[in-house]
Chain A
């Protein structure tokens, strides 16, 4: 019951948080900014509309939004929100989940290539390259976690005797993980400095340019999927920061959503104070995140010998 409830809350509130990013950015720029619920308004607006499909596209095109949404939903199904047991879990599920996210990306890319647009092809090429590099960071994180408490599922990471957490022993290593996971969050969710969701020049986009031709409910599904994906990464990082005990009840949710808000605020601040990187220095940015966790993983060799 508790698991279903926490999942439901997550599913409903996920579109709220990107509004926070917009608010923070507006505040930093000295503007008033859109209302907090802006993303809900956008979703409802899109859902009421019809669609225009490109004459070049085939049956692959509508699969892009649905597969990526399904993959993001799967990630949330396996995730233990504020220490509650997830709905489904087994030893090894993290590998399945990150591969499912890759599956979602595969279909987003195919849908982009389906439109015969040169810009969308360009965005797709960048997306597959950068996400391959980000995947390496993520698997290094999994290697480190396996060294720490030999577990391979979200439930085992964050529940049980010795959860992986900043406040536990060997939490110092997690500082590296949190920083590099934040960098991966920025990469995978197309935020500044890797990609700029607010830019208006198609040549410089990555993710936004891939979905140029989607409209109406299809676009709403894509947006929803990307909110869930961002929420998933934020939840991952916030679980690393605080050990949630199931006994604590409502307090847990408060701290959890507080941490999530903090992460989104940080994203907003990052976007306000940083310019986006040149396209050819993005790989260096992602490899920096890899180097940090790789270093942490190597350190475990000394700790346990």
Chain B
């Protein structure tokens, strides 16, 4: 039996184990962890050959219900997407050992662990599905299992609401994907992805755009991202880490897979993807600046990073369309590497957010502060994740953004629209980079630095060992890819070799550039070390004392005078005013002896308000007009059925 399928079987067994042993809480988690770890390691071992050289292995093909064929195939591109699945998921499972630590919730925990493994298996199958029926089946399996994971704390009203929003989005998205597949099937007469290349051009356009909506709602492309900021705060943190770090990438995989199967080379595809990338990237980070619930903020950063990934992909597609292979290689390489990088630092940040949540019980960042002294490991790893997600060298986020920049600069030599789009991509990346750094200096500064703003924050203590260990490993991976990008870029290039139109011209260029980049990263670390040593030297035999912070003449400071995250971000959000709604309520001071004044501000998502006002409310109104059909008389319902059958018999 194939190692890959064996790994999935072990993972399934690992998922069943907690259901059978849920009476013994620690044994259940321990056994689950061992089996899941073993399954994921086997999975990594199975995909290893496909990561080293381009190849395709047929995993499984079986006829189902006489009519359909289920077939799965592992190629180098899917192997690349499998790296985060098998690499990050066991770390999240390890984290859950101390995170889900309430023995009275043993059944619920067992169900959570079961669906977690179903999610891993279904994601692994999504990346390997080779025809539309298998794809649609495992896609639904993935959506449903993640829905149950979001609903873990179902007794809370907001969690249930978030779960319903998620299931609606994911099912409407699936509807679009099924429409895509149906259209492609009727036009090509085959359910194989390879047959899609034969579809006529105009239908290809419709197929691609339907798929962009369907997969985009899973990935969180800007106007379709509404479920992310609801579902992520509601789900347990290790689930958010996997959903945001790994699962939404399946949407990106879907777009990429379809693009490759359709073999389209028109400019319009690249331009559309690039435009969506720019919008998601900039607005994602602007809304993240405006949000002060730690996990909601991270959810908006997922929208931003999906934007960066799409910008890279759009640059790659424009490169293919204009026959500029260097541009295409750099664009796709940066995009794929950013998928891996984002899965690492975003899961790190979500795990850190979970540790903060467990340590303090507070979601709002303006009530925290000074946590780096109380939770040193969480603080340091969160700092590493923040630098990486801001795309600052020498960490991993910069490597992939740099490759995308480089590809976009190649596109500047094009004429006309190619130049304009490349220029917009570069400017968007620059704005996103600056704003992301602003946002994460806000988060790190307000949550981890300074003085605790509330009692709860002051009482926080470090999370358990199994929670900090995964964070340390992920932080190490961030630095490793940052200063040794070579092997990872190589892995990306092997994955890219499955793109038929890309001739290998770009490969050496990318490898050469990544080695130079690594050199710059190490040089910076060297200079930094020099500066640290210099500082150490300068402080030899110097008098060092501690005192209160300089209050600029104010002698009665309290922790409440610290700058808050809301004020920190306000001037930036205000700059983006037409695209962001800011609601402020200020009680005002209108008497000589004023009462307690209050001031609140809220940043509303325009996509969400527009969706509610323009679509959901009219739809509900319309449907309420049809409510008379539902009256509760059973005989009339039977009448409906008979009338329908007669009508069908007469007319069809």
Contacts and interface: CB of A to CB of B under 8 A. Distances in A.
B568 A121 contact: yes
Interface stretch (A2-10, A17-25, A99-107, A164-172): A99-107
A126 interface: yes
Contacts of B530: 70
B415 A305 contact: yes
A291 interface: no
A246 interface: no
B209 interface: no
Size band of the interface chain B makes with A: 35 or more
A70 B528 contact: yes
Contacts of A128: 434, 437-438, 441, 572
Given A109-B445, A297-B423, A147 B524 contact: no
Contacts, number: 235
B547 interface: yes
Contacts of A88: 519-520, 523
Interface stretch (A56-64, A173-181, A234-242, A268-276): A56-64
Contacts of B535: 62, 65-66, 217-218, 221
Contact of B568 (A55, A125, A139): A125
B451 interface: yes
B79 to A, nearest CB: 28
- Range class of the A interface residue count: 35 or more
A120 B551 CA distance: 10
B551 A117 contact: yes
Contact of B532 (A56, A66, A120, A139): A66
A55 B546 contact: yes
Interface in B376-393: 383, 387, 390-393
B64 to A, nearest CB: 50
A116 B450 contact: yes
A75 B426 CA distance: 21
A57 B448 CA distance: 11
Interface stretch (B107-115, B345-353, B357-365, B557-565): B557-565
A50 interface: yes
B555 interface: no
A299 to B, nearest CB: 12
A121 to B, nearest CB: 2
B426 A115 contact: no
Interface in B512-551: 513, 516-517, 519-520, 523-524, 527-528, 530-532, 534-535, 538-539, 542-551
Contacts of A93: 516, 520
Contacts of A55: 546-549
A113 B544 contact: no
A139 B409 CA distance: 11
Query: What is the interface of chain A mostly: helix, strand, loop, or mixed?
Result: helix
B482 to A, nearest CB: 11
Interface in B199-246: none
A217 B550 contact: no
B441 A124 contact: yes
Contacts of B549: 54-57, 115-117, 213
Contacts of B563: 113, 118, 120-122, 124-125
A142 B430 CA distance: 11
A139 B434 CA distance: 12
A69 interface: yes
A153 B116 CA distance: 47
B574 to A, nearest CB: 9
Interface stretch (A33-41, A130-138, A155-163, A256-264): A130-138
Interface stretch (B25-33, B269-277, B291-299, B366-374): B366-374
Contact of A73 (B390, B531, B544): B531
A115 B547 CA distance: 11
Contacts of A105: 437
B531 A69 contact: yes
Contact of A221 (B391, B517, B531, B545): B531
Contacts of B412: 143, 146-147, 150
B57 interface: no
B503 interface: no
Given A58-B372, A92-B402, A103 B434 contact: no
A50 B445 contact: no
Nearest to B564: A121
B552 A119 contact: yes
Considering residues B370, B423, B430, B550, which has the most beta carbons from chain A within 10 angstroms of its beta carbon?
B430
A11 interface: no
A265 B538 CA distance: 33
Nearest to B561: A118
Nearest to B373: A58
Nearest to A50: B543
A96 interface: yes
B12 to A, nearest CB: 44
A279 B383 CA distance: 30
A109 B413 CA distance: 37
B550 A213 contact: yes
B542 A217 contact: yes
Contact of B449 (A58, A131, A133): A58
Contact of B426 (A57, A143, A216): A143
A57 to B, nearest CB: 8
B373 A140 contact: no
Given A103-B387, A113-B450, A305-B415, A70 B527 contact: yes
Contacts of A110: 441, 444-445, 449
A125 B567 contact: yes
Given A100-B524, A103-B387, A118-B561, A135 B433 contact: yes
In order of increasing CB-CB distance, the 5 nearest A-B pairs are A121-B563, A113-B445, A132-B434, A50-B543, A116-B450
Given A136-B431, A216-B542, 20 more contacts: A50-B543, A53-B547, A55-B549, A67-B531, A74-B520, A88-B519, A92-B405, A99-B392, A103-B387, A103-B393, A109-B445, A124-B441, A132-B431, A132-B434, A135-B433, A136-B427, A143-B412, A143-B426, A147-B412, A217-B542
Interface of A: 47, 49-60, 62, 65-67, 69-71, 73-74, 77, 88, 90-93, 95-96, 99-100, 102-103, 105-106, 109-110, 112-122, 124-126, 128-129, 131-133, 135-136, 138-140, 142-143, 146-147, 150, 152, 202, 212-213, 216-218, 220-221, 283, 297, 301, 304-305
12 contacts: A47-B538, A66-B528, A67-B528, A70-B531, A91-B516, A99-B393, A103-B393, A113-B441, A115-B549, A119-B552, A139-B426, A221-B531
